[in-house]
Structures are given as structure tokens and as C-alpha cells.
Amino acid sequence: MTTKPREPRIPVAYMLVIGSLIFFAAALLSPRDSIAVSPQSSSQDEEGSDVGIAVEHAATVSNCVSCHAMDDAGRMTRISYERKTPEGWQQTIRRMVLLNDVELEPDVARDIVRYLADEHGLAPEEARPGFFEAERRVIDYDYEDDDTEVLCIQCHSMGRVITQRRTKEEWELLVAMHRGYYPLVDTQGNPGFRRRGPPSSDGDGPSDSRHPMEKAIDHLAATYPLETDEWTAWSANRRAPRLGGRWGIAGHSAFSGPMYGFVDVTPVEGSEGEFTTEATLTNVRSGEATTRTGSANVYTGFQWRGRSTDPGEGDSMREVMFIERDWRRMSGRWFTGAYDEIGLDVTLYRADGPLITGVYPVALRTGAEMEELTIYGINLPTDVQPADIDFGPRVVVTEIIDAGADAIRLRASVATDAAIGKRDLFVGAAARPEALVVFDTVDAVRVTPQAGMARVGGVVAPKQFAQFEAIGVSNGPDGEPGTDDDLDLGALDVTWSLEEYSATFDDDDIDFVGELGADGLFTPALDGPNPGRSGNRNNVGDVWAVATYESEELGRPLRGRALLIVTVPLYLNMRGWEPGR
């Protein structure tokens, strides 16, 4: 990585003037605002403090030491007092390259990210709650501390925050960095980093005079400190995982439905935690098999970051997975798309014996006769007999159509009085808990995701697509909708349509936002002002994605719907090179 020659930037002077005014004014206004911003102040100077992780990596030291001074114990300012994910360290290095004129070759940058993610990383227990950030998953996330949450999520995901560990001084410096680079954060938003009025008082108690940023710093320093028991235990225990061998894979994507297959993982000779992969995946709906080849790095002993490509299609997917401590299971998301919106949720199981990855279809109706069903897996017995396959009481395998090591096609019947619920599956020595659902009626249609988001694009910005899936739902044994025992019956064949979500009078979003295809894939319309729309509005809007299922047993259609937000593009994309590439 090399930096491009930079043109003189007039706004630097402007920034310095504004920045100094802000800090000067802040210091005058309140002594509480005097957050330490001295770039070389470090926690090791505190009396009796021995926190900080020594940096013992030649490339990191030589490339960083000109700004980040090293003390006698090998601790470097800033770097020794933070722990982050590989993505977190990558973002730091990218900022150093972009804004501080650091010049690094790509290989050196990767080496530094690897070292820092390993030695200044997170323990598995620390990384798990914020793993959605690395998986680029769009989820509803509700953080425990409202003051901190509201301050951070006005610009970025909370996942970026909870996947870091710092000393209190480092959290203060992080806030100072935001105030320096983006001076408006003090006042913009609700709330800004600084309080804009007298402190609010709750009842009779003394009012809390801290600024919002000070509340956040106190919370973050207490909740996400540099030193934790989890990290101490993990750094003593951490090693490069030995993941070589065959893994069974169960995947599900709203775009393609269930996918089953296997991944052969081969260690790269002479490396620690580097692997090449060759995956074969079968789309169970179409029966089509695809292969993917790729490579991956494992950071901190448990964070899989890879990339794989289908040689025929040429499509490339990033792979982010969490490796469990027993090295027998890893799970995560493989994704692609301009906004990482096209993804496959995957779970990999080590296949050193017979292994069942799943069945299709995932649900059988009571009274079903000679229904065809396929069991997917690895090393399945090819001489299997109907009696060897056990779906539990009153589900009988009547015929084996075809038995292969990776799939067993069979016919099964379900008694009319069979109890409804989830059934464990046993095939010889292999087991898969809750592999099959026995149900009586499709009681409802649930559209997932319940709230989808797409972005207009195609001219300047790329489009962000939204894929919906209609899942059949049975009310379960209690017959009541919306209870914990409701059963998920897998995807249904439905008719898709859009309906207006009337947010305003004469709302006409549906005429502009885009098209919902017969397969549930929403393709947004073009970006840019639309002269054909009042006020030259963009083709944005809120609509319902509606699935209609013709239910034979009820004699009437069942409908399910999800809110679809079609919104504006991002003009700044913070991706770029990623760990594991």
C-alpha cells in the first residue's frame, strides 16, 4: 500500500483554527471538558500502573515507532493500550495511511494486522456479542446503555464500539479523535457530544452534570477495559487452530434457499492459521451443485476471515466465521454484493465420521404418505436400510430411493395422529437434533426479513438489493399463534406483490421504488433526482412486501408482509481491502 501524492489542502488551516477554538473554548467553559488529548500521554506513566501490552513485532515497531513512542517495557503509546478485531486494526491502519501519510506495502500491512489482531485482540467471549459487525449482518441491536448507544449510533453501528477494549485514557482519546476529525459532533445530533443546556435533573436527586461524551467514556471504560479475565485466559491458551480436513456445511440464504455440502480445508505449509479451501455446495431446491475455491486466515485462534470464488461464475464471497473452542464447529456468514447484502448463513461441522447436515424438505405434514425427502450429510452409510433411519414415533421411512455417502433419498409416511413438533434424526451413528418438523396445518406466512432495506442505485451508486422469503408457520402444539412453540416450516411457494405503506397523505412510493420479482427479490429503481416525481424526489419510499399463499386446507389465501425501506445510497464506503484477502 502506498499513499498517493497529496495535494495541498486548504481546509487544514480551517480545521486547525476551528479545532483550536473548540478546545480552547471547551477548556474555558468547563474544567470537566479537559479530556486528555496529549498524543504521547500514556497509561504507563501512572504511578504503580503496569497495564499495557508490549509490542514484540519488528514490522509493527519499525513502521509505527516514529509517532508511537516505545517505553522500556516495550509498550508503545496508543497501540499497547487497545485491543480490537482484525477489522478494527485494519480500520486503524487505513486511517494512518489516509490521514497521517503512513506508507505501507500491502503484505506488511497484512502482517501488522495479523500480529495486532492476535496479540492485541479479543477473547472469544468478548468477540461473540459484536460478531454481527464483522459478519456485516443487518440486525436489530439494542444496546444496554442508552446514553452511550444514542451517542454512537447516530453515525455508525454499535458493533464497532463493543468489539474494542481500551484503558480509560484510550476511550478518552478515541472521543477526542472524533471531536478533532469531526468538530460538529459536539453540537450536531440529539444529543451531541456536549450537553447544550443545563444538566437535567431526575426528581429529587442531584443532577448529573456530565456531558453525554463523559457519560459514554465512563460507561465504556467500566464495561470494556483493556485488561479482562477473559483475555488473560485466552492469551494463555491461544494457539493456531488445526482445522485441516473435511467439514460438512449447512447453509441457508434467502437468495438460494438451503444449501448443503462439504468443505475441504487444507493448511498452507509453513504457515500458522492459513488455509486453502475447496467447497462443494448443492442447492437443494434446484439440485444444482457448485464448487468454490478460496483461502482464509484465522486470527486470534478463532476468527476465520476468508474469500472464496466460484471458478465458473467468478463471483467472490467474503467468509467470516467464528470457530468454537473444540475446533469441531464454525459458523458465520459468507457474503457479497455492493453493500454485503447478499449472504449465506453457514455452519460447518467437522466430518471425521458419519455426519448429517440437514434434510429437505424440513417439514412433513401429519398424514403424509410416501413423501420424498432427502437427508444430506458426509460419510453417510451407503448400505442403509429403512429401519436404520429414525425420525421418532409415528414417522416411518418406507423406502430408500437412493443412498449415497453425501445424500440419502427416501420416502417417508407420517401417521395422521402423529404428535406435531420437532424431531431428532438418527442415521446409524449420526444424529441431527431437531432435523425435521411434523405439523398439521400452515397457519400463517411470515415474511423474512420483517424489515428489509434496499438502496436506489445504478447510475452513480450501486443498487442494494433486498431478498424476501416467505416462511410457513404452524401454531404448534398449543394451537395459539405467536407463542414459543410455533413451528418454522421452511420456505413456501407464494405470489409476491408490493403494497403502499402509507406514511403520508397521497403516498405514491409504490410507483417509483422498484420491482419485486416472482422470486421475492426486490430490485430498487435508479438513483438521482427523479424529474417525474413531485419535488424531484429520489425513488425512495416505504412499501410492504406482501406474500400470498394459496392454502388448500383453509380454502382461502394466507398473507404475510414485511416492511421494505427503499432509501438513499451511501457516498462513502469504508470497505476496501479486508483481512483474509
Binding to another protein in span 57-96, by CB under 8 A: 94
**Contact with another protein (CB under 8 A) among 42, 77, 80, 157:** 157
Q: What is the largest CA-CA distance in the chain?
A: 84
Least distance in angstroms from the C-beta of 538 to another protein:
5
Least distance in angstroms from the C-beta of 140 to another protein:
6
Stretch that binds another protein, among 48-56, 102-110, 183-191, 195-203 (CB under 8 A): 183-191
107's CB contacts (< 8 A; 6+ apart) are: none
218, three cell numbers: 465512563
101 near another protein, judged by CB under 8 A: no
Residue among 100 and 286 whose Cβ is closer to another protein: 100
20 near another protein, judged by CB under 8 A: no
What is the CB-side half-sphere exposure of residue 310 using CA atoms within 13 A? 14
Binding to another protein in span 443-482, by CB under 8 A: 450-451, 453, 459-462
Report the alpha-carbon distance of residue 290 to residue 261 in Å, rounded: 9
Residue 85 has φ and ψ, to the nearest 5°, of -75, 170
Stretch that binds another protein, among 75-83, 135-143, 245-253, 358-366 (CB under 8 A): 135-143
SS (HEC) of 110-140: HHHHHHHHHHCCCCHHHHHHHHHHHHCCCCC
Binding to another protein in span 531-550, by CB under 8 A: 535-538, 540-542
Residue among 273 and 524 whose Cβ is closer to another protein: 524
Least distance in angstroms from the C-beta of 212 to another protein:
12
Is the separation of the CB atoms in 448 and 515 below 8 Å? no
Helix (H) or strand (E) holding 335: strand 329-336
Is the separation of the CB atoms in 240 and 272 below 8 Å? yes
In b/e form, how buried is each residue of 264-285, taking b as 16+ CB within 10 angstroms? bbebeeeeebbbebebebbbbe
Binding to another protein in span 483-512, by CB under 8 A: 501-505, 507, 509
Stretch that binds another protein, among 185-193, 264-272, 279-287, 318-326 (CB under 8 A): 185-193
Binding to another protein in span 360-399, by CB under 8 A: none
Dihedral sign from CA coordinates of 226, 228, 234, 237: positive
Report the alpha-carbon distance of residue 226 to residue 222 in Å, rounded: 10
Residue among 396 and 563 whose Cβ is closer to another protein: 563
Residues in the chain: 581
The CA–CA distances, whole Å, from 425 to 397, 416, 438, 496 equal: 12, 20, 12, 34
Binding to another protein in span 280-309, by CB under 8 A: none
98 near another protein, judged by CB under 8 A: yes
255 near another protein, judged by CB under 8 A: no
Least distance in angstroms from the C-beta of 184 to another protein:
6
Residue among 203 and 482 whose Cβ is closer to another protein: 482
37 near another protein, judged by CB under 8 A: no
Stretch that binds another protein, among 147-155, 233-241, 299-307, 363-371 (CB under 8 A): 147-155
**Contact with another protein (CB under 8 A) among 20, 30, 181, 288:** 181
